[in-house]
């Protein structure tokens, strides 16, 4: 049995636990998955090419910071009108310190501290809290427990084209709950004063890997080549009951093994019960805005390519129908198919004679062959999105 603290919680040296999981192939079986408090959790991340902050330094590897790190840090520090000195509530700082002192559990952090960080901006985001990511393909091959962020921001269902989410299902849709945000790329993990900060950092690293892969899949949807530009489009934050707020980014690029790796980079840290209180509030809110902007850009790219592919297919269907009609007319055969260019529906009428039936079937067989060939390019583009791993 793992040791327990005086409060009854398992200590950070808790052993790997047995959990019953349902893999994506729906075959229920018993599996061993590593909990975040287990030090093997981080090792599983590294073996899956997910590199926590500081990994390159401790292993004497070249720095792998995102190309846009200076832009990220500059935007975190950008002023916000709502936080200008003239508009600040002078009592907020003391109220925050009082609330933080009472955070003896994660739920208390979420209830007492998070509202100070978010302010009145929360309604501007599609947000989920404490939801187990049961639909997402594991970034560790099932070695670690599934992510369950304390908070995450994503896109509402209506913002994602149906072709996109159907093709990228297990890469961008966290749960089977239809209302849950999709393609999440902002995450928040909280830990009380009684837990180790490293536990939240490990959790966030796995969250960020899921988010970076999702944005990568959207940016490359429908593309013949995989574009990894070295920029970070996924952001996350940890908050510990000792008053420390940390912000991180995640980006995907080729690692030292030649594989695609996900690198976690610390952007900044703030002592929220000290002099950097207002800087931390500003950075947290700016980080959510940035993540939303990056997510929207990736979605616009994916949705646009999906619509182009659909229009391309529609044009081919119309051209095929015209070719079929022309071929039938050339041979004196009445076409058995009419095509509604508005709805895309086809209606049929019976051929006038058995010989007409045979001729029509022959023509339609040729048309179908041409249609399959013309749509292969569109199908290939849809499959490309599923290659992101």
- Give the pLDDT confidence of 7-47 residue by residue, as tens digits: 343 333 333 333 333 344 333 333 457 777 777 999 999 99
Q: Is residue 25 part of a domain?
A: no
Which of these, 271, 264, 263, lies nearest to 246 by C-alpha position? 271
Q: Is residue 9 part of a domain?
A: no
Residues 341-355: tens digit of each pLDDT: 444 455 554 555 555
Q: Are residues 187 and 164 in the same domain?
A: yes
Q: Are residues 236 and 268 in the same domain?
A: yes
Number of folded domains that form the chain: 2
Residue 188 has what pLDDT?
A: 99
Average pLDDT score over the chain: 83
3-state secondary structure of 163: helix
Tell the burial category of 135 from Cβ atoms under 10 Å away from its Cβ (0-12, 13-18, 19+): middle
Q: Are residues 94 and 210 in the same domain?
A: yes
Q: Are residues 192 and 328 in the same domain?
A: no
Q: Are residues 287 and 321 in the same domain?
A: no
Contact 53, 251 (CB under 8 A): no
Q: Are residues 381 and 293 in the same domain?
A: no
Residue 232 has what pLDDT?
A: 99
Question: What is the domain range of residue 222?
Answer: 30-305
Report the predicted TM-score, pTM, of the whole model to 2 decimal places: 0.77
Q: Is residue 71 part of a domain?
A: yes
Q: Are residues 268 and 335 in the same domain?
A: no
Q: Are residues 265 and 371 in the same domain?
A: no
Q: Is the pLDDT at 373 greater than 60, yes or no?
A: no
Query: Of residues 4 and 143, which shows the higher confidence score?
Result: 143
Q: Are residues 273 and 322 in the same domain?
A: no
Q: For the residues 282-291, what does the mean pLDDT come to? A: 98
């Amino acid at each position: 049995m793992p040791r327990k603290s005086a409060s009854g919680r398992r200590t950070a040296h808790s052993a790997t636990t047995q959990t019953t999981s349902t893999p994506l192939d729906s075959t229920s079986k018993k599996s061993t998955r590593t909990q975040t408090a287990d030090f093997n959790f981080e090792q599983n991340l590294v073996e899956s090419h997910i590199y926590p902050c500081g990994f390159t330094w401790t292993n004497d590897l070249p720095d792998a910071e995102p190309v846009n790190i200076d832009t990220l840090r500059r935007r975190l520090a950008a002023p916000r009108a709502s936080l200008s000195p003239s508009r600040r509530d002078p009592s907020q700082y003391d109220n925050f310190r009082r609330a933080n002192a009472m955070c003896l559990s994660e739920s208390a952090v979420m209830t007492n501290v998070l509202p100070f960080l978010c302010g009145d901006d929360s309604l501007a985001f599609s947000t989920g809290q404490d939801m187990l990511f049961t639909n997402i393909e594991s970034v560790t091959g099932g070695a670690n427990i599934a992510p369950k962020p304390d908070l995450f921001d994503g896109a509402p269902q209506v913002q994602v084209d149906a072709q996109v989410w159907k093709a990228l299902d297990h890469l961008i849709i966290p749960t089977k709950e239809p209302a849950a945000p999709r393609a999440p790329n902002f995450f928040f993990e909280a830990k009380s004063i009684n837990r180790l900060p490293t536990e939240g950092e490990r959790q966030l690293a796995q969250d960020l890997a899921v988010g970076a892969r999702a944005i990568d899949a959207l940016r490359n949807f429908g593309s013949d080549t995989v574009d990894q530009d070295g920029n970070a489009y996924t952001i996350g934050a940890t908050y510990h009951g000792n008053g420390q707020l940390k912000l991180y980014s995640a980006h995907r690029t080729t690692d030292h093994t030649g594989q695609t790796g996900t690198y976690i980079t610390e952007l900044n840290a703030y002592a929220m019960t000290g002099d950097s209180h207002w800087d931390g509030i500003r950075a947290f809110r700016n980080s959510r805005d940035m993540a939303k902007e990056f997510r929207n850009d990736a979605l616009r790219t994916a949705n646009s390519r999906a619509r182009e592919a659909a229009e391309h297919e529609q044009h081919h269907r119309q051209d095929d129908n015209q070719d079929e009609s022309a071929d039938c007319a050339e041979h004196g055969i009445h076409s058995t198919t009419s095509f509604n260019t508005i709805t895309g529906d086809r209606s049929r009428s019976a051929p006038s004679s058995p010989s007409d039936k045979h001729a029509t079937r022959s023509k339609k067989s040729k048309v179908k062959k041409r249609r399959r060939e013309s749509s292969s390019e569109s199908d290939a583009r849809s499959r490309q999105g599923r290659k992101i791993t």
